[in-house]
Chains A and B, each alone.
Chain A
Amino acid sequence: MKKAISIFCLILTFFIIYFLQSNFFTWFTIAGIMPNLYVILVLFIGLFVKRKLGLVLGLIFGLYLDIVLGRVVGISALGLGIIGLLGEILSKNFSKDSRFIVTLMVIVSTAIYEILVYVLSMLRLSADIEIIPFLKILIIEILFNTLITIIIYPLIKKAGYYLENLFDDKFMLTRYF
């Protein structure tokens, strides 16, 4: 029951982020560039909840974004799904206790997601590929995501360990004994 409520809360968080992205962050920008909070959310789910839930929710969230706002169905879904899976792999190999490591993970995921989505959509839409402007946008977006991660890290840590204990009893034992 608690697990179902947690998953519902995660989906609710997605919609809160969706409204933030389409309203607040359309003017709260760095040189006109928006952050990408979806990546942070899906990475967070992958890192702490595991059980392939990052992959599943990433695919669902991405599909929703593609259908509502995108031109090509499947690209965001693929991107966010990969980030969810990546989060799970990273959580097995790295500690999540350090703010620095988590921030680094966000930087890597944002870069992977954006490059993947950009290349795929440009190939699909046969538009001109503009590498320098793209890199400029990517760097600003990564910076924005990094700053947001630093700010919300305590929240990530608290909520993350709560979810981790809820979804995986094994981890609780290794931590406290």
Chain B
Amino acid sequence: MYRNKKTGIIGIIVTVIILITIVVVSNIEIENFSQIGGALSSLVMPVQNGITYLKNKITGNNTFFSDISTLKEENESLKDENSKLEQSLRELEIIKAENETLKEYVNLKDKYTEYTTVPGYVINRDTSNYSNIIVINIGSDDGISEGMAVIADEGLVGHVISVTGTTAKVQTLLDTSSAVSSLVGTTRDAVIVKGNLDDNDMLRATYIPTDATILEGDKIETSGLGGIYPKGITIGTVKSIVDTKNLTNRYAVIEPAVDINKVETVLVITN
């Protein structure tokens, strides 16, 4: 009996060690393999990240429930972020103005140069491996409704799929059922940006026209078609292009401008 118990405990300890090893090894970046320092830091980093993440989460939730003064401070910092966003939008406007010939062709008015936005916090994340949904702490009471685009300071995050009085569910770009009509920044070729299961940090640009020239480093932005996302919001940059046997099936891997798995504050475009 004693012996069985002892081997049982040893079994558990061994399994715990195996589990931790697998988690750590599977999360090591490939570049870090060459450096011992990198390997060491990757042993410490998950714990540190986790603690920081928990801390942020707890303080975020506290302020959500009580502290008005902290809420005010947060509001101010969000306003700052908002002004930064508006600044980046203005820069976008300048780029738009430079691209005059294209404007003549498309004959679009500057509909979306000014957005009205409502800031919100990410309060929950999906616990499934197959979908990517975040819950934010603003809802229909703040003027949020279904189908509104959600952005962060660097670019697009997703769109609202359902609202309650005080919360809203946002389907992010990384979700497998998300598809955004987009344009390649330089050549204005139309592509569809989708989430995929294969790599839950990257997006895929599909339906690339066969005559399109798409290059690594190209910026991808929303096209404004489809009615959900306004035109000209940054989605990300092309990281690599994957050629398949059939030219029509080729796709580009896109690194989203926003780190969607870690984003904490978002803005909902309400107009």
Contacts and interface: CB of A to CB of B under 8 A. Distances in A.
Given A23-B54, A34-B129, A71-B171, A130 B197 contact: yes
Interface residues on B, range: 35 or more
Contacts of B125: 22, 26, 69
Contact of A127 (B15, B26, B177, B201): B177
Contacts of A117: 128, 130
Contacts of B126: 69
Interface residues of A, number: 44
Contacts of A125: 176-177
Contact of B15 (A31, A33, A133, A150): A150
Interface stretch (B16-24, B86-94, B183-191, B227-235): B16-24
B15 A69 contact: no
28 contacts: A22-B124, A27-B49, A27-B50, A28-B50, A30-B26, A31-B27, A32-B200, A32-B201, A68-B124, A69-B126, A69-B128, A69-B135, A70-B131, A71-B131, A71-B161, A71-B177, A117-B130, A118-B130, A121-B130, A122-B177, A127-B177, A130-B176, A132-B198, A134-B130, A137-B197, A147-B22, A150-B15, A151-B12
A65 interface: yes
Nearest to A124: B177
Contacts of B217: none
Given A71-B171, A130-B196, A154-B8, A27 B53 contact: yes
B141 to A, nearest CB: 18
B210 interface: no
A10 interface: no
A141 interface: yes
Given A22-B124, A125-B177, A127-B176, A30 B54 contact: no
Given A69-B124, A151-B12, A151-B16, A23 B129 contact: no
Main secondary structure of the interface of A (DSSP, over half): helix
The 3 A-B pairs of least Cβ separation, nearest first, read A127-B177, A133-B197, A21-B127
Nearest to A146: B15
A147 B176 contact: no
B19 A121 contact: no
Interface string B98-129: 00000000000000000000000000111111
A12 B125 CA distance: 20
Contacts of A143: 22
Main secondary structure of the interface of B (DSSP, over half): mixed
A23 B177 contact: no
B262 to A, nearest CB: 9
Contact of A28 (B23, B124, B162): B23
B232 to A, nearest CB: 26
Contacts of B23: 28-30
A24 B50 contact: yes
Interface in A64-110: 65, 68-71
